[in-house]
Homo-oligomer: A and B are copies of this chain.
């Protein structure tokens, strides 16, 4: 089979004979093959063992048929090198034992050295490029500064962001200093990934949708924009995904990138219009759609593809990560439906 570069061509808004598809969190617990490995290894251990990270990264390429691989890793990995004590406690998600709450906490942080502290990520990327050389492109990724800062401040998951927003409003100097050192870390981390062989990078701002547009503009956007600017022009497309921010796409797109990632809360035709023709778009099927019968999945995939039409630069994806209880057969059905229906729309046979 010939190398499938549909994903990269779509990122560059070049014509494609069909629409490429990958799924956020596609290397994950919905697959029995993933769970088999996860059962024998800790989550951080999997991230830090290139052979294991490589194996689970490849699983959905081979078994689900997606058009791109995305490195198996966690957005919080670079925090260890910054000086944070990170743990994935059983059933609790990430815990940071020394959360950042004051200016002096911020001043104690350092820019993580991507090779010294996260060299295992670069090793996995190098192996993956070998393994994938006849298959599909490899996507690297990082958390956006806001999302990483929110974890550092809260010390874990939250729904209220009391400490995070309090620091932002009460100590803007500490806030911006934290965003600076985090941005510097992410810039170095993504540059190293690109150097190791990542062919595109996605910036995940998973929690930015908890901010108002004015706070996003004042406290976050300048940092995200600097991040994206510094990793743009290195020869690989940058995907800017701001989750639950569909009501402020005008601001999101001003942060830059080649591709704007979309959650499922917006009609994709309206989103395409809002971001304009200078960006490719990625998205945006509700991940829970995969719990519907296959014929509903097919109908919804077709409707989404029809709404996009022949616009250059569409990468099909879910609007958020695939849910761990998803039936893998339904994920495969979605890939098949997207391939078949988009081939008809885009007017040429699938490559």
Contacts and interface: CB of A to CB of B under 8 A. Distances in A.
Given A212-B264, A213-B265, A293 B244 contact: no
A220 to B, nearest CB: 13
A247 interface: yes
Given A214-B303, A215-B286, A265 B293 contact: no
Given A265-B212, A266-B213, A267-B214, A165 B288 contact: yes
- Can you tell how many copies of this chain the complex includes? 2
A177 interface: no
Interface in A261-294: 264-267, 284-286, 288-289, 291-293
Given A169-B296, A246-B246, A247-B265, 6 more contacts: A165-B292, A169-B292, A212-B264, A212-B319, A247-B247, A248-B267
A215 B287 CA distance: 13
Contacts of A212: 264-265, 284-286, 319
Interface of A: 160-162, 165-166, 169-170, 209, 211-215, 244-248, 264-267, 284-286, 288-289, 291-293, 296, 300, 303, 319, 323, 325
Most chain B CB atoms below 10 A, which of A209, A214, A296, A303: A214
